[in-house]
Amino acid sequence: MELAASQLIKLYMQTQVLTGNIYYAPTPEARLLDALNGLSDVGPVKRGRFLELTDVIVQHADGRNEKLTVSYINKATVQLAISLGDAESGRGLGAQSGPKAYPFVEKSAVPVRIETHDYRITGNMYHSIHQRIWHVLEDLQIFLPITHAHIFTIANNIWGKAPFVAVNKEHILSLQEENSHRFEGQKTIESNKPREHKNP
C-alpha cells in the first residue's frame, strides 16, 4: 500500500474557490508545487491534466457553498493554489534551515507583482544563479511558486495573504519585477521603473 501525505489547499478559479486535501509522497524533499505539477504522484499512473481533492468545500460566485467528498479539477482552470496549515509545506527542502542535500538548488528571491484576469499577487519568486526571470516563466512547469504573498481580488477589492502561493502561468497576463526589496510581513511593494513581462 502506498503511503501519502495530505496537504490542505485552496484553489482559486474564475467562478469558484475550492478548499480540500491533496495527496503526495511524504518525503523530505516533497513539495506541494511538485504535486500540483504532477511530479510527485504516489500511484503508478502519472496525472497530468487533473488534480484530485478530497473533503472539498466549494464556494460559488453567487455565494452558495457546497460540500463534496471528492472533486477532480482541471489544472487549466486553476489561477492560484494556496497552501493552508503548515506555512512551509509548499517549499520542501527550501524551507529547511542548515545544509541541504540534493536535489536542492540555491535560489535568489526577486520581488514581483503578477496580474491575472481576476487577481493581483505581490510576493517573492525565485531563480537560480544561472537563470533570469524569463527562464523561469518559460520552463515547462505549470505553476510558478511565490512566497510571502499578498493577494488582491479585483472583483470585490479584498486583500488576503499567504506564505506560499502557486500561480498558474497560463493565467498570468503580466509580471513586473519590483526594484525594491521585499521583507516578510511587508504589506506592499514599492516599485521604481518596474520591468514587465507580458504573456503573449
* Domain segments of the chain as ranges: 5-93, 98-198
At residue 22, does pLDDT exceed 90?
Answer: no
Q: Please report the pLDDT score of residue 187 as a whole number.
A: 39
Q: Please report the pLDDT score of residue 40 as a whole number.
A: 58
Span 145-181, pLDDT tens digits: 999 999 998 888 788 888 999 999 999 999 998 875 4
CATH number of 5-93: 2.30.30.100
Grid cell for residue 85: 496549515
pTM value is 0.73
CATH number of 98-198: 2.30.30.100
Q: Which residue has the higher pLDDT, 124 or 90?
A: 124
> Distance between CA atoms of 171 and 166, rounded to whole angstroms?
11
Are 5-93 and 98-198 the same fold in CATH? yes
Which contacts (CB < 8 Å, 24+ apart) does range 174-177 have?
Answer: 174/114, 174/115, 174/198, 174/199, 175/112, 175/113, 175/114, 175/115, 175/133, 175/137, 176/112, 176/113, 176/114, 177/110, 177/111, 177/112, 177/133
